[in-house]
Amino acid sequence: MNLAALNEIAEKMVTPGKGILAADESTGTIQKRFDAIGVENTEQNRRDYRELLFRATETMRDHISGVILFEETLYQNAADGTPLVDLITQAGSVPGIKVDKGAKPLPGFPGETITEGLDGLGDRLKKDYERGARFAKWRAVIDIADGIPTWGAVKANAHALARYAAICQASQIVPIVEPEILMDGAHDIDRCDEVTRWVLSTVFQELFEQRVALEGMVLKPNMVVCGKKCTKRASVDEVAHRTIAALKATVPSAVPGIAYLSGGQSDEEATAHLDAMNKIGGFPWKMTFSYGRALQAAPQKAWSGKSENIAAAQRAFAHRARMNGLASVGQWEGALEKAA
């Protein structure tokens, strides 16, 4: 393992003013996105949509530090035959790959899941590296409901994350470690805070035990927010302060950066929370974004599967990427949203 090279990639992924585009939706997930805009879920349409994002060269160059790809996309070529991965590198961004095989029911733990995909991971990563991927992503899913999460599920998912991260580093791939506390329930911010601290502390203990070099990874956590069904909403300021405090208590300073997931927040909520944290400052890591829907909902709607809408979709992508780029250095203001 060349830790200096891994650290160089990790630092590039959290470059101030830039963030990571999560374009790794599975075929099933993108089906839901395409259904919402009336687009048939074909390989060509998936390619055309992602190509329009990667060909937004100025946006990619100025605001996107890396792109998480679904396996299909990593090995796809653009309409003119150019590998899509080359479009990303030509814009100065780092290509990455989602390597987990999804969350499956955890036997013996009703309502909880374990993420699969460790079998054969080293061999897959070797091929992905040869294709151009320099980082990977693995998502563990932790739900909050009556009686869950349990220690068994938290421990199992943290261990899988650590094993994945160790295999990545042995393959000269930077691991994005993503333990996501879902915001789907009715829990309040206190419960999210409690579970977030518990999960993160467990994850870093497992990373230590699996001898993962923290300088060669990026953390992709949830923010400390209320569940969607919670009637008592937390302010932007409270979310920012709670999230920073939780991470300060659990995340070692050796980690180069934090790239938050949006987790179902609205576009502007995700931007406002990230901005508020960076305005507060005082933490040892760079804090940026690794957003999927919060970057893509607007361009998907603008595109709607029509080639004549590509320019409009790229403008929508540029706006959201710019807003989040500003938030990653604490320079976003709500008024900027009206200047699209």
Task: List the catalytic residues.
Answer: 178, 220
**Bridge partners of residue 290, in order along the sequence:** 20
Locate 105 and state its tokens: 């029911």
Locate 207 and state its tokens: 């990373």
Taking the C-alpha atoms of residue 94 and residue 218, their distance in angstroms, rounded to an integer, is: 13
Residue 326 CB neighbours (<10 A): 19
Helix (H, G, I), strand (E, B) or coil at 159: helix
CB of 60 closer than 8 Å to CB of 93: yes
Q: Rounded to an integer, what is the distance from CA 226 to the centroid of its chain?
A: 19
Residue with tokens 């980690």: 255
Nearest to 9 by CA among 164, 165, 135, 162: 135
Q: What angle do CA 207, 212, 217 make, to 5 degrees?
A: 95
Q: Tell me the Ramachandran region of residue 120: left when phi exceeds 0, alpha when psi lies from -120 to 50, beta otherwise.
A: left
